[in-house]
Chains A and B, each alone.
Chain A
Amino acid sequence: MSITRHIDESKQQVIIKIDGRFDFAQHKAFRDAYRDISPGSKTYVVDLSATSYLDSSALGMLLLLREHAGGDASPVRIQGCGEDVQRVLKIANFEKLFRIE
């Protein structure tokens, strides 16, 4: 289980990648991945291609990131979801809040 981030300065984009289970235990690491970036200044890609499972607190964390990124018109993209992850995001209807690719 780990969270890594990569900042692409040319695109003003932050890529956050979550390995393994994305649940409450990742709370701190996930926040640390973006808290030093000034709010609303960059776009975000959350890479879930290596994520095995997502729970409701992870959904909450995504909402926090969305708020940090600028709220309603927020540019947060979620990519690489596997079947289980997709199922959870779909039940929560998160495609209405995020660009899911």
Chain B
Amino acid sequence: MRTFNNQAQPDTALPAAPRGKALVVDDEPTNCRLLTQMLLREGFHAVEAHNGEEAIAKFEAEHPDIIFMDVMMPGMDGFEATRNIKSRSGGEFVPVIFLTALRDEKSLIQCTEAGGDDFLSKPFSFGILKARIRAMERVRDLQRAIAAKNETLSTLIEKDQEEQKLAERLLSRAVNTRNAATGRYRYVQRPAATFSGDLVLSQYLPDGGLRILIADFTGHGLAAAIGAMPVSDIFHTMTLKGVDDDRVLSEINRKLYQLLPADRFMAAWLISISHTGTTLRWWNGGMPTGWMQSRHGLNQLESHSLPLGIMHPLPEQEHTNYLQVEPTDRLLLMSDGLLETNTKIDGKMFEDAGFHQVLDRWNYGEPVMESLIQALDELRSGDPLDDITIVEIPLGSSGYTGSKIPKNAVYQSGWHWSIELADARLDALPSLEDLLGPMGLLAGLHNHVGALQTIITELYTNALEHGVLQLESNMKSTPDGFELYYRERERRLAVPTLGWIRLSLNYLPGSGPDGSIRISVRDSGQGFDEQQLAQTDASQPWGRGMKLVRDLCESVRYSRGGTEVEAIYAW
């Protein structure tokens, strides 16, 4: 009968599984050999060193997986050698076990302080040592697994951030650059993630009215923002064509219903202000109550419809509401991220802690945005958890009704205007509003600003991407290529770009039925074959920009070997 003795497990005759390389450091050859023999039986490959200097050299040359360190040795002792080795091992964990004849407390503490991971006092039993080795190996394996996972994780995070940035760029290009009349209203957006699931779109109607869409997708971040692309396309295209509110809503609803999974949807405001600034059409599907400050006080514009993308078709009764307004009235709209912001006051939400006080102090005819943001920043605790969007719209602002320049002068006198952007300035062409608005050159042309902005943006983009940067459109024929195209664009823009683009606008009164504008864009590139451009077919994922320009313009003509294009927009 066997006795119970955990330590006394017989050594198996079979060689154990390989366990890596051990470095044995001891100035006593007998000790060295004994330990080496034991380690060999345990499945280690063993290397010996007989003093501190040698230990460091072997560590560098052999890359051991575990080290057994004697303390007292001639020359460099075990403490010094261990400190040295630990400073050389970098991020990798190589356990050092001290085997020492010293037994006093101070020396043992010194072992740990020198960077040792464990210690055993000589003489020791092999059984105990084996158990200690097992424990050390477990720690080491854990360290290695964590290090490997960390590496994978940081690569993934980096990749994810890069993709988020790219997507953000694509989206803001596709979504925000098309917005018209951004100077007519104020809005503040604070995204909770890299980019927002909230959306603000604005576009002129053909009759000079202004339409604004404010939306909040379920959740936030990339997933929420993807839906923004089709919504923006539908909104701008249909608004420029003068399609009525209900049909725009119905089309956006249809598209989202088709695209989004059942648990995703888009709460939205659709606001249309007539060109006189005296009629307001509003529709609220799932957004918080909006506030209209009028001569008679505050009006609440409550949510009266389901958000978009849940039910198709939209129920009949959920049509747009009408309001007669005055040009001095103001509209304040927001996403739920504002109202649900946590505050310092008993953890209450902003809606219950400060929002209504701001409304109470809001005087007729005055802006409210500043005091709202101020109250929010004073009260909020921590960063926002959800996207925040606040929009304030003065219903009849200057430049909208009536202009300082007499009407006759606008229609009967022409103007010529041009700008040349070069090198690092090529990346961003300011909006038409910003360029021409302050000089009063857009007076009387508000009906056409949206279309002109589209034409100029497309022509300018073409000149930049194909002319100056010499990117090939057909890169965009696959989804990967699309990404690659914009990545390449960013790369080429980041290195100092040498080149220029000249944009000229020539207003010719009375040259069409009413008037026309000649748009000319010239670049410093090498030009291209315009025949190739003409062959673009509708199924390709690129080349739509030029088609759009041709649709909007009376004529489009290339010259100077494709480095100059002239488009005539007439009305």
> B-contacting residues of A (Cβ < 8 Å)?
24, 55-57, 59-61, 63-64, 66-67, 72, 90-94, 96-97
Contacts and interface: CB of A to CB of B under 8 A. Distances in A.
Interface residues of B, number: 23
B315 to A, nearest CB: 7
Interface in B482-510: none
Contact of A56 (B218, B303, B306): B218
Interface stretch (B10-18, B64-72, B258-266, B388-396): B258-266
Contact of B219 (A56, A64, A90, A96): A56
A64 B288 CA distance: 23
B223 to A, nearest CB: 11
Interface of B: 216, 218-219, 262-265, 267, 285-289, 303-307, 310-311, 315, 336, 386
Nearest to A67: B262
Contacts of A91: 267, 286-289, 303, 336
A94 B305 CA distance: 9
Given A60-B265, A92-B267, A93-B286, A24 B303 contact: no
A53 B336 CA distance: 13
Contacts of B305: 93
A61 B218 CA distance: 11
A63 B262 contact: yes
Contacts of B219: 24, 56-57, 60
Nearest to B217: A56
B218, B287, B311 — most chain A CB neighbours (10 Å) = B218
Contact of A97 (B289, B304, B310, B386): B310
A60 B306 contact: no
Given A60-B264, A90-B303, 5 more contacts: A56-B216, A63-B265, A91-B286, A92-B267, A93-B286
Given A63-B265, A91-B303, A56 B336 contact: yes
A64 B263 contact: yes
A93 B285 contact: yes
A57 B224 CA distance: 11
A59 B303 contact: no
Nearest to A90: B303
Nearest to B220: A56
A59 B218 contact: yes
Contacts of A56: 216, 218-219, 267, 336
Nearest to B287: A91
Given A56-B218, A60-B218, A93 B262 contact: no
A96 B263 contact: no
B471 to A, nearest CB: 39
Contact of B286 (A61, A66, A92): A92
Contacts of A24: 219
B288 to A, nearest CB: 6
Contact of A63 (B216, B267, B286, B310): B310
A-B residue pairs, 4 tightest by C-beta: A60-B263, A92-B286, A67-B262, A64-B263
Contacts of A90: 303
Contact of B218 (A57, A66, A67, A94): A57
A30 to B, nearest CB: 10
B341 to A, nearest CB: 13
B218 A92 contact: no
Given A56-B336, A63-B263, A63-B265, A93 B218 contact: no
Contacts of A72: 311
A66 B361 CA distance: 43
Nearest to A93: B306
B264 A93 contact: no
Given A24-B219, A97-B311, A64 B336 contact: no
Contacts of A59: 218, 265
B318 to A, nearest CB: 8
A72 B262 CA distance: 12
Nearest to A91: B303
Contacts of B264: 60
Contacts of B304: 93
